[in-house]
Structure 1
Amino acid sequence: MAQSRRMLVLRAVVEDYIRSQEPVGSTTLTRDHDLGVSSATVRNDMAALEDEGYLIQPHTSAGRIPTEKGYRYFVDRLATVMPLSEAQRRGINSFLSGSVNLQDTLQRAARLLAQITGQVAVVAAPSLSKSTLRHVEIVPVSITTLLAVVITDTGRVAQHILNIVDLPDMTTLAHLVNEINTQCAGVSLAQTADCVRQMESRSEYRSISALTEALARALDGMADDERAGELYMAGTSQLAHQHTVADLAPLFDALEEQVVLMKLMSSLSETTQSDGVGVAIGSETHTPGLLHASVVTSGYGRTSAGNAGNAGSPDADGHGGNDDYGNVDGDQTAATSEPVAFVGSIGPTHMDYVTTMAAVRAVARYLTAFLAHDEHHTND
């Protein structure tokens, strides 16, 4: 009993410190929380929690504050991520539904997440390596140049110049493009390259074999593109208003290292914890500039065929198929969605984890629904 009560005391300390950012004392805890025991008992529990590494006492005779271990216990015991309120869901929907294309949606998503949390928001565009083919076009630019335009399932448009000796027979080329679009739609770009090479060996395409090989190489290059494309970031100025510049210098350095940031958030979004949301606290980020920061992230992406019907884009009332916009069970949605990129929030270790985790998950699920909804695919 003492151990479980002690952990209730820890939870109360974390909640109070997140709210006030002032060291928490036993008298305050006893007054503000229904712990059912005396102030002296709470004081003993806090001393035990300090011995166990969950709390520290920054100054003599002052209250205590949570350690990294204390925050980790608190986050791990959040059995479910609280859904956002109806008003918040409607706000997300109305703010994001006005976007004109994928890039605009991701930029808006970053701004919105920063606004909800008061922290730095990071939203990655889907990488080509995780995309599948939606459509390909080959357009003549000059006598010796063709432009291959590849549109993916995530709405990204990639262009590649194909240099040739002279213009191919346009009827044969049109036939090739139609066959690629028919046979390869929905498969990865690497598989599409293999498919093009198989076509190249057929007699009907022998006259344009140099072109088909150049196209296959271009698709291979796109498939190897591990970069998540653009990284949309917002909220750094809001964070600067809350802290002194000296405190933030290491954090801003870390934010400049976009490759490091993307690796961290990408791996964290793929090994998520509570309800599809991953949390790294302080040293868990393995990033020097983030030693006093926490990162909350969630993957977003394509939904499997079995769940595609549930992933409809949210309607005007904020309801669609996924958990924060409808009634699909959170674990089910997470299990049937394959991430193609991530959305995340970076803030101090004393961030409001409950609100941040809920907001990150809600925005991630909106983006998953956005990608799943064909009518939203706009060339950008």
Structure 2
Amino acid sequence: MVTDRGLQVLRAIVQDFVDTREPVGSKAIVERHAFGVSAATIRNDMALLEDEELIAAPHTSSGRVPTDKGYRVFVDHLSELRPLSPAQRTAITTFLEGPGDLDDVLARTVRALTQLTGQVAIVQYPSFARANVSHVELVQLGGGRMLVILVTDTGRVSQRLAIVRDEFADEDLARIRADVAGVLVGRLVREGAQSVDERLAAVDPVPTPTSAATTAILRVVAEELEEFRHDRLVMAGAANLARSEADFRGSIYPLLEAIEEQVTLVKLMSEMVADEQGLAASIGRENEPFGLGEASVLASEYDTTGVRARVGVLGPTRMDYPTNLAAVRAVARYLTRMLDEDENR
């Protein structure tokens, strides 16, 4: 059982180790923190923390460092997050303000978050499998090429090129657009994909130029909807792992592979359990099932038209949890507000 002062000592050890990267001793705690007790008393508290496996000695006769379990207890007992500075809040606004489609906004989001935290920043796309296709647009580019634009009610805008061979008068183009929209608009992505498959299975054996163009466009749409159904991540700041390589006991290659493959991180981000504030943390050994036992992931939820996804950071277990959690939460809230404003314009 950890006492209140024991938790305060643990907090001091975590803070000092994050700040200095050096093991923390009782004398340093007495000098840096106003506990009002002797170094001998602090040593007794540290011995109890060590018995609980919350801290450990990396070397004989050295100070102590937090264990993964210690970081978990520290995060679980955070009474408050460290407030962001005015400069940090300005940085978020500067990165995220301004128009742009969802792809652009999420790319700016990860750039802002990696700048704020110095960690790898991660943003999940909303689950487009639950989105509705709200609009279809066709633009002739000449040479038998057609730009197919799909828009969902979650704000995603995608563009794909279809080869239709012919050029069409405005009235024929409008007919093709209405035909494609009739298959898709107002349907969930998965329902739209099924509707497209059914339509393609009933292709006219003697196609007209317009029906052939519709078929070519629907084939491209089918590929795009399949992309919509796969969870995706946007990331930035992978180079930060190399800068913090000394904080990892082993190789950083598993982390780099996870970033490249994305599947592992998608699963981890989706399974993290959030607290009542929507914040989630998965620390060290808790990530071993995902091959990321030396990393911590912090995340917060953002919302776009009722569909929730997560924004977060990945880095070594020796990280500034209060500041990073505050940054993740602030970015998630700003992103939610920004997407909501875009939706209501």
Secondary structure in 1 matching 2:252: helix
Report what 1:300 is aligned to: 302
Question: Contact conserved, 1:189 with 1:222, CA < 8 A, in 2?
Answer: no
Question: Contact conserved, 1:194 with 1:216, CA < 8 A, in 2?
Answer: no
Structure 1: runs of 5+ lacking an equivalent: 200-206, 305-337
Secondary structure in 2 matching 1:345: strand
- Does 2:266 align with 1:262? yes
Residue 138 of structure 1 and its aligned partner are, at CA, apart by 4.5
Report what 1:34 is aligned to: 34
Q: State how far apart, in whole Å, the 2-side matches of 1:57 and 1:175 are.
A: 70
CA 1:277 to 1:141, structure 2 compared with 1: closer, same or farther past 3 Å? same
CA 1:109 to 1:374, structure 2 compared with 1: closer, same or farther past 3 Å? closer
Q: Report % sequence identity.
A: 41
Residue 357 of structure 1 and its aligned partner are, at CA, apart by 0.8
1:51-200 correspondence to structure 2 within 5 Å: 51-98=51-98, 100-138=100-138, 148-152=148-152, 153-159=154-160, 161=162, 173=176, 184=186, 188-192=188-192
Report what 2:292 is aligned to: 290
Question: Contact conserved, 1:137 with 1:149, CA < 8 A, in 2?
Answer: yes
Secondary structure in 1 matching 2:53: coil
Candidates 251, 254, 257, aligned match of 2:255: 251
Secondary structure in 2 matching 1:35: coil
Q: State how far apart, in whole Å, the 1-side matches of 2:236 and 2:173 are.
A: 44
Residue 149 of structure 1 and its aligned partner are, at CA, apart by 2.7
Question: Contact conserved, 1:273 with 1:279, CA < 8 A, in 2?
Answer: no
Report what 1:363 is aligned to: 331
Q: State how far apart, in whole Å, the 1-side matches of 2:103 and 2:280 are.
A: 24
Report what 2:280 is aligned to: 278
Secondary structure in 2 matching 1:272: coil
Secondary structure in 1 matching 2:331: helix
CA 1:209 to 1:239, structure 2 compared with 1: closer, same or farther past 3 Å? closer
Q: Which amino acid aligns with 1:157?
A: S
Q: Which amino acid aligns with 1:352?
A: D
Candidates 292, 300, 318, aligned match of 1:350: 318
Q: Which amino acid aligns with 2:315?
A: G
Q: State how far apart, in whole Å, the 1-side matches of 2:241 and 2:193 are.
A: 45
Q: State how far apart, in whole Å, the 1-side matches of 2:308 and 2:294 are.
A: 28
Question: Contact conserved, 1:80 with 1:274, CA < 8 A, in 2?
Answer: no
1:7-26 correspondence to structure 2 within 5 Å: 7-26=7-26
Q: State how far apart, in whole Å, the 2-side matches of 1:156 and 1:70 are.
A: 44
Candidates 234, 250, 257, aligned match of 1:231: 234
Q: State how far apart, in whole Å, the 2-side matches of 1:169 and 1:375 are.
A: 31
Question: Contact conserved, 1:189 with 1:220, CA < 8 A, in 2?
Answer: no
Question: Contact conserved, 1:253 with 1:289, CA < 8 A, in 2?
Answer: no
Secondary structure in 2 matching 1:299: strand
Question: Contact conserved, 2:268 with 2:290, CA < 8 A, in 1?
Answer: no
Question: Contact conserved, 2:197 with 2:222, CA < 8 A, in 1?
Answer: no
Q: Which amino acid aligns with 2:339?
A: L
Secondary structure in 2 matching 1:344: strand
Greater CA drift, 112-121 or 209-218: 209-218
Over the aligned positions, Cα root-mean-square deviation in angstroms equals: 4.0
Q: TM-score, normalised by structure 1?
A: 0.71
Q: State how far apart, in whole Å, the 2-side matches of 1:359 and 1:159 are.
A: 35
Structure 2: runs of 5+ lacking an equivalent: 200-207
Q: State how far apart, in whole Å, the 2-side matches of 1:91 and 1:47 are.
A: 43
Q: TM-score, normalised by structure 2?
A: 0.78
Q: Which amino acid aligns with 2:304?
A: R
For residues 181-222 of structure 1, the C-alpha deviation after alignment (integer angstroms, 9 at most, x for no partner) is 9x72xx6323556789999xxxxxxx9999999988877765
Candidates 308, 323, 327, aligned match of 1:339: 308
Q: State how far apart, in whole Å, the 1-side matches of 2:219 and 2:308 are.
A: 26
Matched length: 332
Greater CA drift, 6-15 or 286-295: 286-295
Question: Contact conserved, 1:80 with 1:275, CA < 8 A, in 2?
Answer: no
Secondary structure in 2 matching 1:273: coil
For residues 29-85 of structure 1, the C-alpha deviation after alignment (integer angstroms, 9 at most, x for no partner) is 122222233221211111011111111111222111111111001111124444423
